[in-house]
């Protein structure tokens, strides 16, 4: 709890932001590296 009474829950937001970025960046690089399948 912060001095103004706001709950100190920012850590959950940091975790969510990191995980969301990780998922979207991972998918971006998966698409970036994927070539056409072998014939």
Partner 1 sequence: MTLRSKGRWINWFGLLLLAGVYVRAIAFTPVEASQGGAQKIFYLHVPAAWSTMLAMGLVGLASILYLLMKDERFDRFAACSAEVGTAFACVMLTTGPLWARPVWGTWWTWDARLTLTLFLFFLFVGYQLLRGAVAEPGARARYSAVLGIFGLLLLPFIHLSVYLFRTLHPQPIVLKPSAPSLPGAMLVTLLYGFATFTVLYVGFVVQRYAIATEDAHVG
Kindly list the residues in this chain that would bind partner 1 in the complex (CB under 8 A): 2, 5-13, 15-17, 19-21, 23-25, 27-28, 31-32, 34-39
Q: In this structure, are residues 11 and 17 in contact, taking their beta carbons and an 8 Å threshold? A: no
Q: How far apart are CA 36 and CA 38, in angstroms?
A: 7
With left for phi above 0 and alpha for psi between -120 and 50, is residue 30 left, alpha or beta?
A: alpha
Minimum CB–partner distance for residue 38 and partner 1 (Å): 8
Minimum CB–partner distance for residue 22 and partner 1 (Å): 9
Minimum CB–partner distance for residue 29 and partner 1 (Å): 10
């Amino acid at each position: 709890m912060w001095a103004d009474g706001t709950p100190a829950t920012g850590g959950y937001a940091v975790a969510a932001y990191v995980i969301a970025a990780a998922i979207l960046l991972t998918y971006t690089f998966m698409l970036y590296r994927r070539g056409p399948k072998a014939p």
